[in-house]
């Protein structure tokens, strides 16, 4: 019997396997951010250990930093403490860190790929659930907890129980104007927030092959919101061309050898999956979330659903609670929902293609009066590229500014947050209660829908603007 892509990566990283024990897996890339690594370093210190492979470890500051001026005084004691610890820990343990002011700083899941650190066939871990993003390269990438971070720092290995394999095949092509974000929102709506539990989800099919690397990252990023342990897409020509010439990717003959190795990572035709789902890409339209978990979304053409339309009592109760929190009435057209704010950014949709899409919508248009808009690039590299392409001027002319990079209002751990009761169209991945600020209401959307919504002050698609 053949092997799945996930099994091939797993098997090629097996350090030790013994009956009745978890497997010990070698880790190729370990990313760190300031939000929850201090206890791991404290553990290392207490045990008198060093970092086993500092050259395979990279730190960044992304969750707590301000985005109006990243070098200004930090306003919260937590931010000061976490960033300070990060700087001290990385210095003491010889780990490279992109801290405030560094032109290579950015969200961990944005900088790994853009620096070419994330490559096919690798194992990648980070103290963060959205590590699944890196799976877009055919790397087995998953979030780990603080004690696991300590284990990887000390040994460069991780004890793991094997993951089950699930396959999501997206047949056909996405209609024009429908993006990777709409696709993953549709997939999560279909399989549910627990649909991928215990599994690594491999995406296959024509629509996946047609996505850019950035679109694939958006899909794998949100795979975690379907409860899966990781998302995966086998590498192809698109992957190879994305990686060619990146700082940590070899060049010349060595590159060709790497490509030959990368191409060995795919699921065999006779590989067995524990679970399989088919999705019809042509039936997917721009989507918007109406509730407080990422599975609660409908097409923008749709209406807020009635809780009694859910047959499952748990889903019905969740819908009732969500509608109360979101202050929405069943039957309301999604397009009629007025917003106060727009957040463009995060590791889901804070890359250059996302900013280009926003600029395309805003070109020659203005943001509606009173709408607060935050455009936060996923990294300083993305920011620099946006400036080089003149996107920042389009943003300014529309009434928004391009900020410094970071997680920002995706999680509201810095000063970028909504006020209680405020409603936002956001390009991030989670619409949980309080996610963007206490009492704040989040509608998950694509960058294109976020940009169009900023222009009208209501949930809107770019095509709606053309019809006006």
User: Which residues here bind ligand IPM, judged by CB under 6 A?
Assistant: 35-36, 63, 128-130, 143, 411
How do beta strands 96-98 and 57-60 pair?
parallel
DSSP labels, 296-330: -EEETTSBPPPGGG--SHHHHHHHHHHHHHHT--T
Say whether residue 379 binds ligand SF4 (CB under 6 A): no
Task: Residue 194: count other Cβ atoms within 10 Å of its Cβ.
Answer: 11
Measuring CA to CA, which residue among 137, 315, 365 is closest to residue 232? 137
Query: Contact, 114 vs 105, CB < 8 A?
Result: no
Task: Find the binding residues for ligand SF4 in span 70-129 (CB under 6 A).
Answer: 107, 128
Query: Contact, 151 vs 259, CB < 8 A?
Result: no
Our measurement of the distance from residue 373's CA atom to the centroid of its chain's CA atoms, rounded to an integer in Å, reads: 20
The CA distance from 219 to 185, in Å, is 9
Smallest distance from the beta carbon of 6 to ligand SF4, in angstroms? 22
DSSP labels, 168-204: EEEES-PPTT--HHHHHHHHHHHH-TTTTTTEEEEEE
Picked from ligand SF4, ligand IPM, none, the partner binding residue 422 (CB below 5 to 8 A depending on kind) is: none
Say whether residue 226 binds ligand SF4 (CB under 6 A): no
Smallest distance from the beta carbon of 347 to ligand IPM, in angstroms? 8
The CA distance from 407 to 405, in Å, is 7
Picked from ligand SF4, ligand IPM, none, the partner binding residue 143 (CB below 5 to 8 A depending on kind) is: ligand IPM
How do beta strands 372-375 and 57-60 pair?
unpaired
347 marked among binding-site residues: yes
- Nearer residue to ligand IPM within complex by CB, 239 or 405: 405
Smallest distance from the beta carbon of 440 to ligand IPM, in angstroms? 15
The CA distance from 203 to 278, in Å, is 10
407 marked among binding-site residues: yes
- Nearer residue to ligand SF4 within complex by CB, 337 or 407: 407
Smallest distance from the beta carbon of 79 to ligand SF4, in angstroms? 14
SS (H, E, C) 342-360: EEECHHHHCCHHHHHHHHH
Say whether residue 222 binds ligand SF4 (CB under 6 A): no
Picked from ligand IPM, ligand SF4, none, the partner binding residue 292 (CB below 5 to 8 A depending on kind) is: none
Smallest distance from the beta carbon of 435 to ligand IPM, in angstroms? 8
- Nearer residue to ligand IPM within complex by CB, 57 or 133: 133
Q: For the window 393-422, what string marks contact with ligand SF4 as x by the rule CB under 6 A? A: --------------x--xx-----------
Smallest distance from the beta carbon of 228 to ligand IPM, in angstroms? 14
90 marked among binding-site residues: no
The site for ligand SF4 (CB under 6 A) is made up of 62-63, 107, 128, 130, 346-347, 407, 410-411, 428-429
Residues making up the annotated binding site for [4Fe-4S] cluster are 347, 407, 410
């Amino acid at each position: 019997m053949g092997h799945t892509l996930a099994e091939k990566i797993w098997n090629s990283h097996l350090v030790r396997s013994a009956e009745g024990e978890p497997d010990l897996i070698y880790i190729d890339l370990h990313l760190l951010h300031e939000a929850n690594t201090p206890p791991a370093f404290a553990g290392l210190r207490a045990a008198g250990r060093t970092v086993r492979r500092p050259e395979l470890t990279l730190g960044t500051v992304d969750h707590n930093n301000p985005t109006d001026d990243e070098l200004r005084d930090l306003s919260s004691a937590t931010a000061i403490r976490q960033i300070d610890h990060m700087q001290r820990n990385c210095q003491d343990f010889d780990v490279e860190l992109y801290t405030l002011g560094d032109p290579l700083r950015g969200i961990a899941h944005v900088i790994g790929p853009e620096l070419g650190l994330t490559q096919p066939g690798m194992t990648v871990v980070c103290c963060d659930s959205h590590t699944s993003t890196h799976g877009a390269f055919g790397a087995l990438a998953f979030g780990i907890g603080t004690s696991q971070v300590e284990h990887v720092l000390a040994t460069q290995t991780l004890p793991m129980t094997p993951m089950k394999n699930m396959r999501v095949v997206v047949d056909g092509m996405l209609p024009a104007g429908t993006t990777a974000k709409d696709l993953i929102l549709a997939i999560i709506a279909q399989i549910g927030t627990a649909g991928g539990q215990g599994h690594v989800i491999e995406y296959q099919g024509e629509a996946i092959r047609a996505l850019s690397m950035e679109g694939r990252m958006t899909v794998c990023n949100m795979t975690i919101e379907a409860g899966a342990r990781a998302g995966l897409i086998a590498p192809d020509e698109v992957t190879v061309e994305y990686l060619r010439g990146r700082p940590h990717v070899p060049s010349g003959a060595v590159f060709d050898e790497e490509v030959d190795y990368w191409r060995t990572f795919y699921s065999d035709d006779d590989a067995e999956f524990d679970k399989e789902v088919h999705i019809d890409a042509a039936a997917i339209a721009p989507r918007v979330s109406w509730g407080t978990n990422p599975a609660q979304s409908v097409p923008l053409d749709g209406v807020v659903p009635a809780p009694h339309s859910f047959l499952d009592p748990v889903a019905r109760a969740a819908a009732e609670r969500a509608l109360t929190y979101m202050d929405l009435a069943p039957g309301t057209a999604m397009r009629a929902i007025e917003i106060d704010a727009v957040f463009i950014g995060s590791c889901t949709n804070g890359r250059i293609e996302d900013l280009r899409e926003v600029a395309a919508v805003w070109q020659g248009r203005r943001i509606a009066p009173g709408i607060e808009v935050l455009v936060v690039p996923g990294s300083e590299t993305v920011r620099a590229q946006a400036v080089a392409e003149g996107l920042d001027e389009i943003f300014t002319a529309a009434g928004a500014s391009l900020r410094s990079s970071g997680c920002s209002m995706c999680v509201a751990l810095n000063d970028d947050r909504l006020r209680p009761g405020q409603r936002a169209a956001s390009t991030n991945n989670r619409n949980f209660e309080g996610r963007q600020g206490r009492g704040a209401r989040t509608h998950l959307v694509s960058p294109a829908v976020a940009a169009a919504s900023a222009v009208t002050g209501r949930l809107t698609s770019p095509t709606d603007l053309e019809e006006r």
